[in-house]
Amino acid sequence: MTSALSGRSAEILATLTRLRAADAPTRGGRVLSYVYDSGLAELDELAAEAIRIMQPVNGLDPTAFPSVAAMERDIVRFARRMLHGDDVVGTVTSGGTESCLLAVKTARDVWRAAGGTGTPRLLAPVTVHAAFSKAAQYFDLELDLVPVDAGGEVGPECLTERFGPDVALVVVSAPAYPHASLDPVAQVAAAAADAGIAVHVDACIGGFVLPWWAGDADPLPAWDFAVEGVTSVSADLHKFGYAPKGASVLLHRGRDRHRAQYFATRRWPGYPVVNATMLGSKSAGALAAAWAIIERLGESGFAELAASCRRSTDAVTAAVQAIDGLRVVGSPVGPLCAVATDDSVQEDRRVDPHHWADSVRQRGWLLQLQPGLVQSDGTRLPHTTHLTITPVTESVLPGLLSALTSAADEVRGVSAASAADVVAGLPAGFGDALAALGTRTDQLDSAEASALLNSLGLGIRDGGPVLPERMAPLLALLESLPAPLTERLLVELLAGLTEP
């Protein structure tokens, strides 16, 4: 029998396999961000086969493809039960960013329909996901970010004292990604309900794990639709729902609010267009995979995986707290945390989290470096290293904990990377080019941005980014530059990756 993938097809797949070999590993627990590995090979096989079955289906029109509507109904039914939303309806989206965008677009339109005029305001802690900055930019809202304390937490009064008739939406997180802080959902939602303001809970990372995170003896504060003033919640199926990218669910309290999410028109000579999401034609593959995994796991399966995450998270945070010179930031909730320098110890015992992450990477584990931030009130959040824990982590805990400890021993006492030292080591061309920019830091054309990247020793070579072996100095430099300039340089770097 001749293989269906002989000849040129086999060559193409071999090339694809070679390309994949350069990627960070998506299985095995070596990458503690970006990927969410259940550790169950059966789920991977199930998801792959579900995608294959639905490969030719267009999710645009559930009247032509009723399988799409059937799976979406089941997912929404499961999610609303999980999030205590008996009066809730919703939609499966292409990911957390689209869920967040649609939550903001819906709130803006409902606010306008209720008589709001001018530019509406989107109010949130500074730790809210960057997707909401994108939403504010896309949908023309003023982004009002409230400072948090050193643990990444925000007091409810810090948000409620900024309420006003121009606020179309308040966003709180369960938890916030940078430091795993659980925002004061109940207090903010109660005050917002009294003020007639919508509240969105961004549970993109926590939505499919927090419902099983704490037992009856140690309950979490209420954060989902059990809180009366919450009007919408986003929860990602492709995070702790263990589905392939990209799938998320956006839930609204009440049909009328949900319908405001839709776009519809018959004012063109083609077929009437009705879209629940920003996409029109779309794959039904991720939807099918998410549906299949929910059907396979059920609540008991998710509870077991959450328990594994809880055990590993406790082990990792305990290990970090035991490392002289490091500390876990704040009081993290869920299977993630941020790690910072312990400034309470003598300098020669301190461990810089970015040097630590670089050293851990040399041992075969990828952590996520987060820059520091000067908030609007002048206070500074320190630079940190982020870890996300998944069920597969439990199977590799000994090796991970050993790497975290030995890496800290290697860099203990090494001062944090200094932007001044980094700049001093750069070619003179960088300083000259930077000085020539003046105040035009967000108005560079492509040639100017590329020249600056090249002077930094960065850029694109052979189809890939040229990055330093150690990321701590680069993060220190980017943190010291004006934010608009950093953003423009990163756009140029990433855009260059896909240029032929």
Domain end residue (candidates: 258, 276, 294) = 294
| Separation of alpha carbons 168 and 200, rounded Å | 11
pTM comes to 0.94
Residue 23 lies in a domain: no
Residue 455 lies in a domain: yes
Domain end residue (candidates: 265, 294, 323) = 294
The pLDDT value given to residue 417: 87
Q: Which pLDDT tens digit goes with each residue over 206-217?
A: 999 999 998 767
Q: In 3D, which of 496, 495, 493, 487 has the Cα closest to residue 442? A: 487
**Are 61 and 194 found together in one domain?**
yes
Q: In 3D, which of 315, 343, 342, 329 has the Cα closest to residue 386? A: 329
The pLDDT value given to residue 453: 83
Residue 129 lies in a domain: yes
Q: Which residues of the chain have pLDDT under 50?
A: 1-2
The count of domains in the chain is: 2
Residue 363 lies in a domain: no
Residue 174 lies in a domain: yes
Residue 87 lies in a domain: yes
The pLDDT value given to residue 1: 37
Domain end residue (candidates: 254, 274, 294) = 294
Q: Which pLDDT tens digit goes with each residue over 397-443?
A: 999 999 999 999 999 999 998 877 666 666 666 666 666 666 676 67
The token pair at 401 is: 């904990």
Residue 330 near residue 153, CB atoms below 8 Å: yes
Residue 123 lies in a domain: yes
Q: What is the 3-state secondary structure (H, E, C) of the chain?
A: CCCCCCCHHHHHHHHHHHHHCCCCCCCCCCECCCCCCCCCHHHHHHHHHHHHHHCCCECCCCCCCHHHHHHHHHHHHHHHHHCCCCCEEEEEECCHHHHHHHHHHHHHHHHHHCCCCCCCEEEEECCCCCHHHHHHHHHCCEEEEECCCCCCCCCHHHHHCCCCCCEEEEEEECCCCCCCCCCCHHHHHHHHHHHCCCEEEECCCCCCCHHHCCCCCCCCCCCCCCCCCCCEEEEECCCCCCCCCCCEEEEEECHHHHHCCCEEECCCCCCCEEECCCCCCCECHHHHHHHHHHHHHHHHHHHHHHHHHHHHHHHHHHHHHHCCCEEECCCCCCCEEEEEECCCCCHHHCCCHHHHHHHHHHCCCECEEECCEECCCCCEECCEEEEECCHHHHHHHHHHHHHHHHHHHHHCCCCCCCHHHHHHCCCHHHHHHHHHHCCCCCCCCHHHHHHHHHHCCCEEECCEEECCCCCHHHHHHHHHCCHHHHHHHHHHHHHHCCCC
The pLDDT value given to residue 448: 84
Q: What is the CATH number of the domain that holds 203?
A: 3.40.640.10
Residue 378 lies in a domain: no
The pLDDT value given to residue 401: 98
Q: What residue numbers bound the domain in which 471 lies?
A: 419-496
